[in-house]
Structure 1
Amino acid sequence: MRLSSLIAAALFSSTAAHALSLEESVASAIDYSPQIAGQYARFQSVLREVDGAQANYLPQVNLYAAAGYEETLYNSGNKIPKDDRGMNRTEIGLKASQLIFDGFKTSANTDRLTYEAESERLTLLSDAEGISLDTTRLYLEVLKAKTIHELTQRNVREHEAIYQDILDKNSKGLSSNSDLAQILARVATAKSSLIAAENNLYDLDAKFMRLVGKPATNLIDPVVDSALLPSSKTIAIKQGINQHPEIQAAIADIQAAREEIRREKGNYFPEFKLEVHANANDNVGNTLGPDQDARVMLTMNYDIYNGGKTNADTEASAWRHEEARTIRLRAEREVVEGTTLAWNAYNMLDQQKKLLKQNVDAAKAAEMGYEEQFRLGRRSLLDVLDAKVEVFLARKSYINTEYDHTLAAYRILNAMGKLTYALRVEYPEQWQAKEQ
């Protein structure tokens, strides 16, 4: 299944080197996902089952035909003469029946499958929400890794510049061998960190390709639509409970379970049908010539005793209803937990960002001061190198927190069941609910 409309809905204007936006990445991941394709197939399968259940409302017409050889040895206790015992027999018959009443089993089964189809459709939307969050998280991880990689490259260049300066001074006798060894060790450490950053970036690129189906090139920093974020955790939880497709799917499952109970209880009632039979046979029962009949009948089929099967099936359906209810309760608790965690992370990381920004500014000021004092001979090389490490780590911590804060905002939207809406990803028409 290719849902190209998903991608088209998320495309932004292209540049010479096309930028892969978060919106386009999410749309591509949904289109590329085997999980989504499988769930869509499941949804379509149940829709066909609904059509099959509704067929019981319509007349059923059956045609029967047969031809062969008949040999009769006895007729009413009398032996048939040898030359009369074999005949060529033909049969053809038509039966039409219309269900009149079956204890509401057909209507209950149709309603049950309709609710199950709606549950599968909502599960499809829930899966899309989950993939949207996974893609968003990976997209931000790649951006963060690229930023840290650039920061690490800058750190290597700065250490190499210091190394070259110390090497020049050492060749002129203005610096000690211990200083040269110290900066050489720091350069090696910086380069090792760069290799680790590159390896992490390669791993994330591979994961991105597997999830999105496109290389993670020319990514751009997304901007969260703050107007969609709730003003309080209470509102976020309320919207999540009322709107999240996973909870809505669980509610549909409960309704389907109720209709299953009603269907099983239908076996307590008799079944009535209007039947029309017409037969045109020939050479039947050792009687030469045609054997034709036609009849219209109202039939009743009433299962008086079936070994307690109806009671057992009804009780089993009642327990499935209870299971569906507990699944709905679990889904609600998961939404409450997910919303709470995301809300707390968003607010705490916002406060942490401000403090880490101060940390970066203070560490940079200290580094510049130490470099100046080193040139005046008032600070050692070790002080300068330690100050650079402090700046590097402060910037790295700020980068991590900044992207984590952005992710927390998207996690809130996901917990509310509106992440794909916030990313302007439109679902195909086949995914929309049919008007009742």
Structure 2
Amino acid sequence: METSHAIRCAALLCTCLLIGTAPARAQIFSDVVESLLEDHPRIQSAESVAEAGKSEVAAARAARQPQVALSADAGWEEGGTGGSSGTYILPEITASQLLFDGGRSAAEIRRSRLRAQALRVQEDRVADELVASLAQAWGEWSRQCDLIEISEAQVAALEQLHGLVSEIASFDRGRGSDVVLVGSRLEQARSALDARRIAREDARATVREIASAPVEPVGRLPSLASFLPETLSEATALVDATPVVQISELQIGESDAAVSGAKNWWQPQLNLEVARTSERTALGDTHLFNAFGVRLRAVSLPFGGGGRARLNAARATASAARFDAEQARQSLTDRIERLWMLGNQRRDRLPRLAQVVVEADEARDIVQEQFRIGRRSILDLLSYETERFNARSGLANEQHDLIALEYQLMGALGRIDFALASGATPMETLQ
């Protein structure tokens, strides 16, 4: 008794704390997803990183454009015979154009462009992961709401039974043990109900944590059955279009571009330069921008092993990227096949579980009537009473597990955010 009272007090305290932390606005799942895809910090961070990728492409392209620089030589010089001593500043304006670098700049442009594409795809991947996490938490909240309804019905049924056996024990003192037994089962049911309420509040807090907003969940998690592919082969055919595989393939291209840029490490870089220079005469006079020159500048070859080492590192990175891409594709295919199999199994079990609920209700009603006339013991009735609500809980859990599998499958296919946020038709979602 003291333990159950403590659990109920903890549930009440947890509820008060969670509700009192921030003012919450009741929202259905689709509304929360819409706001999450617009305002969530992780989405905004992914957008900023993608924007940085675009800037990297612009910077790589700028390296092949004409460059203008202002430089200056400054110092102090002791005059010779007839010359003057003192400090001097000799500014120079130089315009240069890259002529040849062994393809390194072109490879860097290609690498940065592929990286920018990968970062854009990463935005979709972050959105899918967020929505999948939110769906998992929301589904758990929905599950606990349904289980709480079942537990409340069980407590009400046991309270009614407790009243019945108490009435019988009032004129049949030999049935007093029935009152104790039913009372014990009633307290167990109340404790289980309190535990489910705590689990519901925990799921609600998880929803708020993922959404980064004080939302109040309302309504059940919508099913995505109409958005799923019709066959397993159609589902596995979509693997190459998923963000995970696309990012892996883009990383292969990025690594290959790095190899292309590093393999000509031994070739020099040639720049054509046009300069307007200044000079200091032997007499110590300074003439600003009085000379004009055209020159071809060659950057020294990187002998010493650094270029070869960078090439080896780039090749190793490219090889690792190919292994990672193959592993990602195979792992995703295996996961889709496993989720598809589990979904079919759960879908097949639903009609049988629904029939078990009907049969359990009918059996309990029969046993209750037999108990009233003394042909069944209280243990028999409690056993059938427990089985009745266990069957209901089993059906509810199976239904929620099936919906959770649908979200996991759509998340693996990288289409969960599009299906929920865009209002697209099932066929458009799978294209």
Which TM-score tier does this pair reach, normalised by the shorter chain?
Answer: 0.7 to 0.9
Find the counterpart in structure 2 of residue 127 from structure 1. Answer: 126
Normalising by structure 1, report the TM-score.
0.85
The RMSD of aligned alpha carbons is 2.4
Q: Deviations over 1:130-165 (max 9, x none)?
A: 221111111111001011011111111111121122
SS in 2 for 1:61: strand
Q: In 1, Cα distance between the equivalents of 2:299 and 2:89?
A: 30
1:380 and 2:377 equivalent?
yes
Paired letter, 1:327 = D
Q: Deviations over 1:44-85 (max 9, x none)?
A: 22222211111112111111346665323xx5xxxx36xx54
Shift of the 218–249 alpha-carbon distance from structure 1 to 2, 3 Å rule, reads closer
* Superposed counterparts of 1:23-62, under 5 Å: 23-31=30-38, 33-62=40-69
Normalising by structure 2, report the TM-score.
0.86
Give the superposition deviation at 1:289: 5.3
Q: In 1, Cα distance between the equivalents of 2:193 and 2:40?
A: 33
Paired letter, 1:247 = V
SS in 2 for 1:176: helix
SS in 1 for 2:285: strand
Find the counterpart in structure 1 of residue 28 from structure 2. Answer: 21
* Superposed counterparts of 1:159-198, under 5 Å: 159-173=158-172, 176-198=175-197
Q: In 2, Cα distance between the equivalents of 1:276 and 1:120?
A: 39
Give the superposition deviation at 1:227: 3.6
* Superposed counterparts of 1:210-289, under 5 Å: 210-215=209-214, 217-239=216-238, 241-281=239-279, 283-288=280-285
* Superposed counterparts of 1:320-399, under 5 Å: 320-399=317-396
Q: In 2, Cα distance between the equivalents of 1:187 and 1:216?
A: 34
Shift of the 139–218 alpha-carbon distance from structure 1 to 2, 3 Å rule, reads closer
Give the superposition deviation at 1:355: 1.5
Paired letter, 1:108 = A
Q: In 1, Cα distance between the equivalents of 2:130 and 2:388?
A: 36
Shift of the 41–175 alpha-carbon distance from structure 1 to 2, 3 Å rule, reads farther
Give the superposition deviation at 1:360: 0.7
Q: Is the 8 A contact 2:138 2:204 kept in 1?
A: no
Q: In 2, Cα distance between the equivalents of 1:334 and 1:32?
A: 31
Shift of the 302–213 alpha-carbon distance from structure 1 to 2, 3 Å rule, reads closer
Paired letter, 2:390 = L
Q: In 1, Cα distance between the equivalents of 2:267 and 2:73?
A: 35
Paired letter, 1:191 = R
Q: In 2, Cα distance between the equivalents of 1:352 and 1:214?
A: 37
Q: In 1, Cα distance between the equivalents of 2:92 and 2:60?
A: 26
Paired letter, 2:253 = Q
Find the counterpart in structure 2 of residue 145 from structure 1. Answer: 144
SS in 2 for 1:103: coil
Q: Deviations over 1:276-316 (max 9, x none)?
A: 111234x545433537321122333452x602322221121
Paired letter, 1:360 = V
Q: In 1, Cα distance between the equivalents of 2:282 and 2:254?
A: 51
Shift of the 391–217 alpha-carbon distance from structure 1 to 2, 3 Å rule, reads farther
Q: Is the 8 A contact 1:278 1:294 kept in 2?
A: yes
1:63 and 2:70 equivalent?
yes
Shift of the 381–32 alpha-carbon distance from structure 1 to 2, 3 Å rule, reads farther
Find the counterpart in structure 2 of residue 318 from structure 1. Answer: 315
Shift of the 87–426 alpha-carbon distance from structure 1 to 2, 3 Å rule, reads farther
Q: In 2, Cα distance between the equivalents of 1:285 and 1:43?
A: 56
Paired letter, 1:250 = S
Shift of the 171–60 alpha-carbon distance from structure 1 to 2, 3 Å rule, reads same
Q: In 2, Cα distance between the equivalents of 1:20 and 1:196?
A: 25
Q: In 1, Cα distance between the equivalents of 2:249 and 2:353?
A: 44
Q: Is the 8 A contact 1:272 1:299 kept in 2?
A: yes
Q: Give the share of equivalent positions with the same residue, in percent.
A: 24
Q: Is the 8 A contact 1:108 1:262 kept in 2?
A: yes
Q: In 1, Cα distance between the equivalents of 2:389 and 2:214?
A: 29
Moved more, 313-322 or 222-231: 222-231
Q: Is the 8 A contact 2:88 2:286 kept in 1?
A: no
Paired letter, 1:199 = I
Moved more, 417-426 or 284-293: 284-293
SS in 1 for 2:63: helix
Paired letter, 1:195 = D
Shift of the 284–372 alpha-carbon distance from structure 1 to 2, 3 Å rule, reads farther
Q: In 2, Cα distance between the equivalents of 1:174 and 1:30?
A: 66
Find the counterpart in structure 2 of residue 91 from structure 1. Answer: 90
Give the superposition deviation at 1:190: 0.9
Q: In 2, Cα distance between the equivalents of 1:32 and 1:185?
A: 50
Q: Is the 8 A contact 1:89 1:284 kept in 2?
A: no
Q: In 1, Cα distance between the equivalents of 2:129 and 2:418?
A: 13
Moved more, 267-276 or 248-257: 267-276
Q: In 1, Cα distance between the equivalents of 2:173 and 2:87?
A: 123
Q: In 1, Cα distance between the equivalents of 2:86 and 2:403?
A: 88
Moved more, 258-267 or 360-369: 258-267
Give the superposition deviation at 1:404: 0.5
Q: In 1, Cα distance between the equivalents of 2:38 and 2:140?
A: 21
Q: Is the 8 A contact 2:143 2:396 kept in 1?
A: yes
SS in 2 for 1:57: coil
Shift of the 214–366 alpha-carbon distance from structure 1 to 2, 3 Å rule, reads farther
Kindly tell me the number of residue pairs found equivalent between the two proteins.
Answer: 400
Give the superposition deviation at 1:375: 2.1
Shift of the 202–88 alpha-carbon distance from structure 1 to 2, 3 Å rule, reads closer
Extract unaligned runs of 5+ from structure 1.
1-16, 428-436
